[in-house]
Chain A
Amino acid sequence: MSKSKKNKLRGLLLGAGFVAIAAFIFTGCPSQQGMMDRGDAAQKVYVAPGDHDEYYGFFSGGYSGQLSVWGLPSARFLKVIPVFSQDPETGYGYSEETKPLLQTSYGFIPWDDSHHPHISQTDGDADGRWIFINGNNTPRIARIDLQTFETKEILELPNTGGNHASSFVTSNTEYVIGATRFSIPYEMDLDVPIDSYSDEFRGALSFIEVDPESGRMEMDFQILVPPYNYDLGRAGKGQSSDWVFFTTYNTEEAHTMLEINASRNDKDYIAAVNWKRAAELVREGRGTTMDAYYYHNYYEGNQGIAINDVKDQVTVLTPEDGQDFIYFLPTPKSPHGVDIDPTGEYIVAGGKLATVIPVHSFSRMLEAIENRDFDGNVENIPILNYDTTIAGEVQDPGLGPLHTEFDSRGYAYTSVYISSEIVKWSLDTFEVVDRIDAYYSIGHLMITGGDTKNPDDLYLVGLTKTAKDRYLPTGPKQNHPAQLYDISGDRMELLLDFPTIGEPHYAQAIRADKISGNVAQIYEIEDNDHPYAIDRINQNRVERDGDVVRVYMGSTRSHFRPDNIEGIKVGDTVYFHLTNLEQEWDVVHGIAIKGANNSEILVAPGQTKTMKWEPKRTGIYPFYCTAFCSALHQEMQGYVRVSAADSDVELTWKTGTN
């Protein structure tokens, strides 16, 4: 080494040493410095292995059609509940039991776009019994049971286009609401020119009654409204709990290039509906019965095969002069969200093209109605005056305010799409007090315990539309992010940023103890009312009826009974009715057979599920358990012999003797 090089090296080492010392003296340990900030955040979301999260978070799957479940604040992914889309992982939508759930008046539909989950409520508070979620494309509402975390019911909405303003519940889950986002001719299947829009098209607001015991939904009535786009909805709280609110846009009644044509009016409306009064009118016989065609799919017992209850009528209420159940509140400008504060007094709109956040007052609205302070009407719906109902306008909320949720301390949090941020503002002064970035382009947000009269003040989750550089890159399309913020202090603080499943639009979070204690660990064999169940292993058998063969099969770790079946023929339709006779939590068996044009099915302990198989070629077909159920799981298999259609191989089955 030359001398000059040595000197340089020494100089470098010297320099490095001094920098290290200086850094140490002035800032402490370099690695721990960063951790002071981040460690704080990390600690707040840390849930030790084996411990449980404080909240269940339910995130809609958007274009996945499903609902995903997360533990918060750790953002542990818990499961996907299949709702509107087939799910080969569980066999949902593939098994004979669940296929009827996806049946509609348009036939079997393996997909939908699920947007807004809403947990059932008692007295204005989330009760954790069921969660509802809307299907946007082929308008439907699903009910998921939160004992089993399974979809138990799906109701199609008649004469509706795009059920987006859904599935929000009223304070005691009296009703779940739905609405038409795309107005269409109300009359069933009407074939008219598109430019007859203003004459022939109508909107429909749906009121679905929920049975307080079973949760079973029933389409009670629809309200016929002008042909606007009904975008989002919410039920009132406390003083306003007899009311529901919907935003409208496209009061221009455009049917093409809405981007321009539906953005002309300075104000559109919030529709305020007194559902109690509307329901009374219906009870008094003021509705009319119209033809309709829609499916209502549900289970009759606690297990079994879902049934299709096909409906051909719906009750319609058309606003008449002086009926006093629906009003329009002028609201700037193409509003998207409409959100009600925990007291039920403030009706907050997210005018996506507006420069302010308008806040209506419920009590002023009532007063104006009382005083008949109207500015005309549309189709017998009185229009209120903006100046009389407005309580305040939040200035400088950023560009494109969409949705608002509330804490219990009088603050509102609004997601702002274009400027990609969350603004916190006071319900007292209507002034912005804090703002924080969202990554990137935030849609909905939610507060733990929220949309109830008792929200918690701990966390806020922002659901954003693009991830870009936030995570390791995974191709031209990245999964949608969610961000968890701490809102317990004066300033919002970002804690966590995590990718989700599908496109979560809205989400809800509920204190875990409202659900966890009621979650079923097994289906009890004694209560299995499935028509093809066996309740003891000695009932296993195979029956033929023409070319339909039913295999009544039982499973326990680590075998199926029967596991050798002969006498199946090409052209047969074979149903494997597999009853999992296990009674231990989380011991699941599955079944798959070579060549089946179907997914596997997974069967929870005590459950019966059916896989349909139509063998097309002769031969020997192995089947096996798809779940790693025990040490001898690899031994959990069997054979089916398939013979030619005209063969005379006798139908036999056996287990256990080689």
Chain B
Amino acid sequence: MKYLITIVAFMLMLLTIQACGNGEQSERSDASDTANGNELTDFELEHGFGPVTERLDIDEEIDMDKVAKGRNIYEMKCEMCHNMGSRMVGPPLGAITETRSPEFIMNFILNPSENVRKHPIGQALLREYMTEMPYQNVKEDEARAIVEYLRHYAETEL
């Protein structure tokens, strides 16, 4: 009989401990990122993520005022990481206007972190260069001017 009481008492004790165990499940947010390029629109695929969401109307002829402005900003905010003809912290940019659209380049300048995370080109670049390109506090019109400078470079220096 005493054994029985002991056992019952013991089970009750276990029960109380059980009941007091934490019932709450810690919430886990499913941080599913859009890592696969499938969810990109056609525009994004070609021109990247960022504030530029439509094709720009860009004149064939180079605007030399923009080139001068773009060059100034490029030297100030880009040249420490990019060479024109060879790899440095980032990829060479001398011929970038021949492989990427102006909109892509601008979006990359204006919104690098989203592009290296979500865009297949950016993801591949990050894997290769292992440094994330920073947003360099460049305004949209300045990014446009940089594109002009890079176009001019490609036309005259290559």
Contacts and interface: CB of A to CB of B under 8 A. Distances in A.
A558 B131 contact: yes
B75 A17 contact: no
Nearest to B76: A536
Interface of B: 2-3, 5-6, 8-10, 12-13, 16-17, 19-20, 75-77, 79-81, 89, 130-131, 134-137
Contacts of A471: none
B132 to A, nearest CB: 8
Nearest to A556: B80
B75 A582 contact: no
Contacts of B5: 14
Nearest to B112: A584
A583 B131 contact: no
Interface residues of A, number: 36
Contact of A535 (B20, B76, B131): B76
Interface string A237-255: 0000000000000000000
Nearest to A539: B75
| Residue of A14, A23, A538, A587 with highest tally of chain B CB at under 10 A | A14
Given A13-B9, A536-B79, A537-B80, 16 more contacts: A13-B10, A14-B9, A16-B13, A17-B10, A17-B12, A20-B12, A20-B16, A29-B16, A29-B19, A524-B137, A536-B76, A556-B81, A561-B80, A581-B76, A582-B134, A583-B77
B80 to A, nearest CB: 4
A556 B134 CA distance: 10
Contacts of B8: 17
B6 A14 contact: yes
Contacts of B137: 522, 524-525, 583-584
Nearest to A12: B6
Contacts of B136: 583-584
13 contacts: A10-B6, A16-B13, A17-B6, A17-B12, A21-B12, A31-B20, A554-B80, A558-B89, A581-B77, A581-B80, A583-B136, A587-B134, A631-B130
A632 B12 CA distance: 59
Nearest to B5: A14
Contacts of B19: 24, 29
A110 to B, nearest CB: 35
Contacts of B16: 20-21, 23-24, 29
Contacts of A526: 76
A630 B80 CA distance: 15
| Residue of B81, B89, B137 with highest tally of chain A CB at under 10 A | B137
B135 A584 contact: yes
Contacts of A17: 6, 8-10, 12-13
B9 A21 contact: yes
A631 B89 CA distance: 11
A45 to B, nearest CB: 20
A468 B137 CA distance: 50
Nearest 8 A-B pairs (CB), nearest first? Answer: A17-B9, A584-B134, A29-B20, A537-B80, A556-B80, A583-B137, A20-B13, A536-B75
B134 A583 contact: yes
B26 to A, nearest CB: 12
A563 to B, nearest CB: 12
Contacts of A630: 131
Interface in A20-41: 20-21, 23-24, 29-32
Contacts of B134: 582-584, 587
Contacts of A498: none
A18 interface: yes
